[in-house]
Amino acid sequence: MNAISMGLANIASKPCKEQISNAAGLLIISPQRFANFMADSTHTKHIHIAIASGVEAAKRTSEIFTLCYQIALQSIDIEIQPTDSIFTDSLQYYTNFLPSFKPKRFSLKKSKETQKAPPIQDSTESNMRLRFNQAVMNFQDKQIRIDKQQTEATKAQGYCGFEVRVCVKANAQVSPDIESMYALQTALLSLFGIFKHDEMATIAQMRLMR
């Protein structure tokens, strides 16, 4: 049987330079839970604990993840912003576009040769263009109405929660993307533990910011 080998790639030839990685994510909770949390005088303590947990996670990333380089971190900045106006990407958009208005005129002979379409008169072409432009305008108007309705519906649902942003800087040959994502996940999970009995509690949109 063939042997299976595994190891870190050699990055010794890469120059060290300042690398920056940004990550962001959301924790969505119910409006009532959010109001109760913000009314509690100790809510800042929980936020500070979540930030400290994220910083510690970024520092220990190479110990947790296999085949992760141990790099020199310069700074770890974590910002947690409580907000009552979270918008998600769950909006549904109208995607059925317009049918083709291009006229096709052809006939099929016994020899299966296709005749050329007769030239379209100027008046017919102008009429078709007007119809097409009108259809495009109707489509755009409908899209605007749907966007407005979806935005109003999202506001009515009252999405509340926390926006978490992480910025990790390092002087290394590789970007600290794993460090920033691990810090983001840890901070969000630390907050999630406070609201784990909330049915609306959801961690969403964890992503690297490019």
User: What is the per-residue pLDDT across 151-170, written as a single tens digit (0 to 9) for each?
Assistant: 555 455 557 899 999 999 99
Q: Does 183 fall in a domain?
A: yes
Give the per-residue pLDDT at 112. 47
Structural domain for 78, as ranges: 18-88+157-209
Q: Does 118 fall in a domain?
A: no
Structure confidence at residue 100 as a pLDDT band (50, 70, 90): very low
User: What is the per-residue pLDDT across 81-96, written as a single tens digit (0 to 9) for each?
Assistant: 998 877 654 433 333 4
Question: CB under 8 Å to 172, separation ≥6 — which residues?
Answer: 16, 17, 19, 69, 71, 72
Lowest mean pLDDT, pick from 8-17, 103-112, 148-157: 103-112
pLDDT at 205 over 90: no
Q: Does 136 fall in a domain?
A: no
**Both tokens of residue 99?**
């049918």
Give the per-residue pLDDT at 183. 96
Q: Does 139 fall in a domain?
A: no
DSSP-derived secondary structure for 29-79: E-HHHHHHHHHSTTHHHHHHHHHHHHHHHHHTHHHHSTT----EEEEEEEE
User: What is the per-residue pLDDT across 135-150, written as a single tens digit (0 to 9) for each?
Assistant: 888 887 877 777 666 5
Q: Does 11 fall in a domain?
A: no
Q: Does 187 fall in a domain?
A: yes
Separation CA 106–CA 118 (nearest Å): 9
Q: Does 137 fall in a domain?
A: no
How far is the CA of 177 from the CAs of 12, 62, 73, in angstroms? 19, 12, 12
Give the per-residue pLDDT at 149. 64
What is the tally of structural domains in the chain?
A: 1
Separation CA 184–CA 54 (nearest Å): 6
Which secondary structure element, helix H or strand E, spans residue 192, and what is its range?
helix 177-192
Task: Indicate which CATH number applies to the domain containing 44.
Answer: 3.30.70.640
Separation CA 200–CA 65 (nearest Å): 30
